[in-house]
Amino acid sequence: MKKFYIVILLATVVITFTQFNCKSPTAPKGSNPPDTTSNNFTFQSFTFGASNAGSSHLSDVAIVSDTDIWCVGAVYLDSADGAPDPFPYSAVHWDGKSWELKKIIVSFRGNQIVTPIDGIYAFSSSDIWLMATDPIHGDGTNWTDYDIRTIIGNNEITISKGWGTNSNSMYFVGRSGNVVSYTNGVWQKIESGTTLDITDIWGSDNPSQILAVANDLGANFLTSIIEITGNNAKLISTYPINYPMSSVWFIPNQHYYAGGNGLYEKHLLTDSLWNNKNDISKYYTTSIRGNSLNDVFTSGSYGEILHWNGVRWKSFMNETALSSGAYGAIAVKGNLVVAVGLDSGKAVILVGKR
C-alpha cells in the first residue's frame, strides 16, 4: 500500500501539469438535479506512528456507527523498551471517546502472526471482514484467517478489498486480477478477464450489481472496470478513459462514478461514454463513497476531499490538505465522513461531521 500512495503522488504531479486546468469544482450536467445536502462540515485530524519506527499508513476504513469506527493499515510505534517495534498495529478503533491501536493477531499455518491490513468491510460491531492477502473474519476481538491459497489450491491468489451482502455472501478482489467469491462456506476463484491489480469493489443487492476497478499505476497507465455476476465476471467499456482508475461507486441504474486520474460518470452502465469531469479537481481521486445521489464524497492525494451536494462539487482542500501524503480511502454514513491515509511517514485519520 505504501507503494500505491507514492505512485499516486507521482501521477498527480504529472497530471496536474498535463491534463487538468485549475478550475473551481463544477456540477455535472443534468436537467433534473436532486435536492441538495449540506456542505457544512467541520473536520478534525489524528496522526499515529513513530517516525523512527517505520513508515505508517492507513489503507481503509469502515463506519459501523459514530461510536464504532475501524481504520486499518500498519502503524509502527516504539516498543516498551524504547526500541522500534517491528510488528505493526494493524487497526485503529474509535469507541466514541478515543482511538485505540490494535494488533490483529491470527493463526496462519501453525504460527501466530501480526500482519498489516489492506481492506475492511463491516456489517456490525461483531461481524467484520479484514483483507490482508487472506480474508480474515472476526468479532472485533477474535479473528479467523482463511488461508485462501491453500483452500483454492492456487499460490498466486492475494486479496486486498472486499464487499458483500452478508457474511455468507462475500466477494474479495486483489492483485493481478484476483477475484474470489465466498458463498455459504464455499470458496471459488472467478476469472476476472484482467491481470491488473484490482483496487476497489462496490455493489448493490437491490437490484443486484457489483463492479470492481483495476489499474496499472506504473508506466502503462492502464485501467479495467469489471462487472461481477454470481460466479462470473466480464470487462465492461471504459471508453474514453485513458488513465488509471482506483475507485468505483454507484447507485444501480441511476448514477455511476469511476475515480482515479480524473473523475468520470455515467447515468446507466449501458451508456456509451464515461463523461469526463476533470475540471472538478487537479488531484488524483483515490476513493469514492456516498449516502445518496446528492451526497457523494471523494478522497485524494495531498488531502483533497470533495463533496457533491446535488447541485455542485465543493472542495475542502483548505481544511484537509496534507503536506506530502494522500487519503487513500473514504467512508461515509449519515452526517459522518472518515478518510484515512498517510502524511510525512505517519498514518492519518480525518473525521468530518455535518
What digits encode the pLDDT tens for the residues 205-237?
Answer: 999 999 999 999 876 789 999 999 999 999 999
Question: Of the candidates 195, 137, 174, 150, which has an alpha carbon nearest to the alpha carbon of residue 59?
Answer: 174
Phi and psi at residue 342, to the nearest 5°: -150, 155
pLDDT in tens, 146-158: 999 999 999 999 9
d(CA 11, CA 276): 18
The pTM for the full model equals 0.91
CATH no. of 2-353:
2.130.10.10
Residue 224 sits at the vertex; the CA angle it makes with 220 and 226, to the nearest 5 degrees, is: 160
Over 90: is that where the pLDDT of 18 sits?
Answer: no
Task: Give the residue carrying C-alpha cell 505504501.
Answer: 2
- pLDDT band with cut points at 50, 70 and 90 for residue 279: confident
Q: Counting beta carbons within 10 angstroms of the beta carbon of residue 283, is it exposed (0 to 12), middle (13 to 18) or buried (19 or more)?
A: buried
Q: What is the pLDDT of residue 31?
A: 45
**Which grid coordinates belong to 89?**
498495529
pLDDT in tens, 36-86: 999 999 999 999 999 888 899 999 999 999 999 999 999 999 887 888 888
Question: Quick one: CA dihedral 221, 238, 248, 195, positive or negative?
Answer: negative
Residue 196 CB coordination number (10 Å): 21
- pLDDT band with cut points at 50, 70 and 90 for residue 303: very high
In a 13 Å sphere around the CA of 274, the CA atoms on its Cβ side amount to 23
Report the Cα–Cα distance between both ends of the chain, in Å, rounded: 30
Mean of per-residue pLDDT scores for the chain: 91
Q: What is the pLDDT of residue 33?
A: 54
Residue 43 CB coordination number (10 Å): 14
On whether the CB atoms of residues 104 and 118 are closer than 8 A, the answer is: no
Order across the sheet with 222-229: list the strands. 197-205, 208-216, 222-229, 232-236
Q: What is the pLDDT of residue 6?
A: 47
What is the SS3 assignment for 29?
coil
Task: Give the residue carrying C-alpha cell 459501523.
Answer: 64
Which residues are CB-neighbours of 249 under 8 A, at least 6 positions away? Answer: 202, 256, 257, 288, 289, 290, 296
Q: What is the pLDDT of residue 54?
A: 86
